[in-house]
Structure 1
């Protein structure tokens, strides 16, 4: 099964359908995030690890599972 590079991005977007007969203005682009573990499958051996203190701060031991939230609406994207 082949995937495009676009399908592996963490932040995705879509435009909700807006009918010509809809009295409300269009909503515009909406964003959503997909979790990193969605694309990993089984956890391979020998993954790099954060230091114990950094792991406690980030909430995970493995950098591949770390997903920092950035609000796409603050940047005006």
Structure 2
């Protein structure tokens, strides 16, 4: 099973004067996990498609940053 959120652990130098960020996360778009576009995918209405940035619901990614995710309680 693929997840749209990945994380990695950057190197933290012992000589860095700032508090290190131990884990960084990023989002990958849903179209990376489809090898082709299947026919008859569900579509947004034209107004919803303009707001979402895509016509097809399967390609929609809400793309929350880490602060928004914390405010929403981890809702994805």
Per-residue deviation, 1:9: 0.9
Normalised by the length of structure 1, the TM-score is 0.74
- Length, aligned pairs only: 69
Unaligned runs of 5+ in 2: none
Task: Tell me how large the CA RMSD over aligned residues is.
Answer: 1.9
Where has structure 1 moved over 3 Å in runs of 4 or more?
none
Where 1:17 maps in the other structure, the secondary structure is coil
Unaligned runs of 5+ in 1: none
Per-residue deviation, 1:18: 3.6
